[in-house]
Amino acid sequence: MKLVLGSASPRRRELLGQLGLVPDDLRPADIDETPLKGELPRDYVARMAREKAMALECAADEVILAADTTVTCGRRILGKPENEAEAAEFLWLLSGRRHHVLTAVAVRGPTGLRERLVDTIVKFRPLSNEDVNGYLASGEWQGKAGGYAIQGLAGAFIPWIQGSFTGVVGLPLAETATLLAASGIKGERA
């Protein structure tokens, strides 16, 4: 079976490498990622992963891996900030609080669609003006759900997490390895 990653994310490719897997093809799904009115964060992220997996062509010898990650604070979905002002708003909202990072994984192959949703609780320490302005100046917030990257400079803002570190980065490895193995894809280290 050939592995097709339904994403252009370099982080997801790196994480697959930790399982000893290199995708045979990269096919980012082009779907509307707008949350539905009143849609809860868990439902939203699961729908995004599923829609990405289903939007891609899948040959008989291929397995599609798609995922979606979102940050939630209460019922609010914090997607990728559109600009620096929105990134600052997100960082101040998360400052000194716990929030959830939801990553949904969908694997589609000849045997059907398999899905998992991983919920990780992340705690930010209280941030200072210097913290927020320095992080914004780094540009690392760009293209990141919630406006931060735990594996980068923002790791210094996070005293603890409960759940999957790799899920916060963008692909929960234990759950992904299980889903892929059930579809006939096993890495060297899985």
Phi, psi of 8 (to 5 degrees): -100, 5
Reference 168, options 39, 21, 15; nearest CA is: 15
Q: How many CB atoms lie within 10 A of CB 138?
A: 13
Strands 25-26 and 2-5: parallel
Residue 59, number of CB atoms within 10 A of its CB: 12
Selecting among 24, 30, 43, 68, the annotated active-site residue is 68
AA identity, residue 156: A
Cβ atoms within 10 Å, residue 57: 8
- H-run or E-run covering 160: strand 160-162
**24 counts as catalytic:** no
Active site positions, annotated: 68
